[in-house]
A = this chain, B = another copy of it.
């Protein structure tokens, strides 16, 4: 498998975690969002959205294919490689796991990703301060209900005692929150889950700073 990857894309970070948890070996193909590689003809021929990540797979019986959208990729991996399961066993628990993941993937991340921040400071000529206020606003709008929803129990991870799709979305989102210097004090439960996840090698090796194939990208540049 080949992962078209950008170190600090939190959507790509999610897929790296899932691939590691499944024990799948993959080749990482760097796509630089800073240089706009994702908008070039070569990448768009693979994935017309011009968004990362994409996963090139060799599906049994169906030939090769390119999958887009991190959550769709992770569900695909979970269906094709069932162990260890990244989704709970019952429909109701799966619904709760998916809902937590979507609260991050739909309600926080799309508002704060690089193309949107560029629109704010480019087309709309907003200041860096206004951009940061925007960023923090949507983070807080999204993290507060998560803290409340997850605060009710003391399971090790978001949905029980093994990591699921919800944790896979949470960890990159908190990484982003720290990069943008959000005070995480109000989110003690989320921080505890993040710490539990990061005790696992599979999470740590997916971290942006641990991607050796992306030279020059492992620093604090945005």
Contacts and interface: CB of A to CB of B under 8 A. Distances in A.
Interface of A: 48-51, 57, 59, 62, 65, 67-69, 71-73, 75-76, 79-80, 90-92, 94-96, 98-99, 102-103, 105-107, 109-111, 115-116, 119, 123-124, 126, 130, 133-134, 137, 141-142, 144-145, 148-149
A111 B119 CA distance: 12
A170 to B, nearest CB: 15
A179 to B, nearest CB: 20
B68 A99 contact: yes
16 contacts: A49-B103, A49-B107, A51-B107, A57-B92, A59-B92, A67-B99, A71-B98, A72-B99, A75-B95, A76-B91, A105-B106, A106-B106, A111-B111, A115-B141, A119-B134, A123-B137
Interface of A is mostly: helix
B119 A48 contact: no
A51 B146 CA distance: 13
Contacts of A148: 48
Nearest to A54: B99
B90 A62 contact: yes
Contacts of A67: 95-96, 99
Contacts of A48: 144-145, 148-149
Nearest to A70: B102
